């Protein structure tokens, strides 16, 4: 820390700028990442949240989610989201393809986005 030298001139009101001390950092903040947990064909997979399509995040992390069209029409990428903080609301393509299954937690991995 740099020591300040006070002179007569620095005691003139309005010239001395004293910054408050920085808070002590006694312990480092631990960033807890919440993974997205999905299940497809009885196989559970945890996907680290990376902004973008759920399918892309899974494939980039080596998770073998089955897929085909990537357009939301075939339904091959259907997964059940067991834990999914920060996933977008179902889009029209998912609503059209999955119908009532959305209420049971099913999503199209190629359409669902991690926010």
Residues in contact with ligand FES by CB under 6 A are 67-70, 72-77, 108, 110
Q: How far is the CB of 27 from ligand FES (least distance, A)?
A: 44
Q: Which is nearer to ligand FES, 70 or 95 (CB)?
A: 70
Contact 106, 79 (CB under 8 A): yes
Q: Which is nearer to ligand FES, 75 or 105 (CB)?
A: 75
Q: Which is nearer to ligand FES, 50 or 74 (CB)?
A: 74
SS3 51: coil
Please name which of 113, 79, 70 lies closest in space to residue 98, comparing C-alpha atoms: 79
């Amino acid at each position: 820390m740099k020591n300040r030298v006070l002179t007569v001139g620095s005691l003139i009101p309005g010239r001395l700028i004293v910054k408050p001390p920085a808070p002590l950092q006694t312990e480092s903040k631990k960033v807890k990442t919440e993974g997205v947990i999905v299940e497809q064909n009885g196989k559970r997979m945890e996907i680290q949240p990376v902004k973008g399509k759920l399918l892309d995040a899974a494939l980039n992390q080596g998770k073998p989610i089955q897929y085909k069209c990537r357009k939301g029409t075939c339904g091959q990428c259907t997964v059940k989201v067991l834990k999914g903080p920060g996933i977008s609301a179902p889009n029209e393509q998912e609503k059209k393809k999955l119908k009532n299954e959305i209420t049971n937690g099913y999503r199209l991995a190629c359409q669902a986005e991690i926010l």
